[in-house]
Amino acid sequence: MKWHTGIAGVMSPTEVEVLSGIVSGIDPRREVFGESSVALGILASTKTLAGERNRYPLRYPVRERIEEIVEAVVRSLDELAGAGTDVDLCGFSFGGLVASRVAAARGHTRKLAVIGTAGHGLKSRYTLEMRNWRLAREPDALWSALRNNLAALMIHDPRDIDALAMEVHRACCTATRFRSKTISRAALLAPILEGVDAPVLLVWGEHDVTTQPEAAARSIADRRAGIEWHIVPGAGHWAQYERADEVNRLLLEWFA
Q: Which of residues 18 and 108 earns the better pLDDT score?
A: 108
What pLDDT, on the 0 to 100 scale, is given for residue 64?
Answer: 57
Range of the domain at 71: 40-125+178-254
Strand-by-strand arrangement of the 227-232 sheet:
40-43, 87-92, 109-115, 200-205, 227-232
Domain presence at residue 222: yes
Does residue 10 lie within any of the structural domains?
no
- The CATH number for 67's domain is 3.40.50.1820
| DSSP state at residue 42 | E
Q: Is 141 inside a domain boundary?
A: no
pTM, two decimal places: 0.78
Structure confidence at residue 235 as a pLDDT band (50, 70, 90): very high
For residue 213, the SS3 value is helix
Confidence of residue 34 (pLDDT cuts 50, 70, 90): very low
Q: Which of 20-24, 43-47, 139-143, 184-188 has the highest mean pLDDT?
A: 139-143
Q: What CA–CA distance (Å, rounded) separates 72 from 206?
A: 33
Residue 161 pLDDT more than 70? yes
The answer to whether the beta carbons of residues 80 and 55 sit under 8 Å apart is no
pLDDT tier at 172 (50, 70, 90 boundaries)? confident
The answer to whether 144 touches 169, Cβ cutoff 8 Å, is no
pLDDT of residue 62: 44
The answer to whether position 106 is within a domain reads yes
In a domain, 150, yes or no: no
Domain count, the chain: 1
DSSP string, 107-151: --EEEEEEES-S---PPP---S----GGG--SHHHHHHHHHHHII
What mean pLDDT is reported for the chain?
A: 76
152 occurs within a structural domain: no
In a domain, 20, yes or no: no
Q: At what angle do helices 139-149 and 163-175 cross, to 10 degrees?
A: 100
Residue 192 has pLDDT above 60, yes or no: yes
Whether 196 is covered by a domain: the verdict is yes
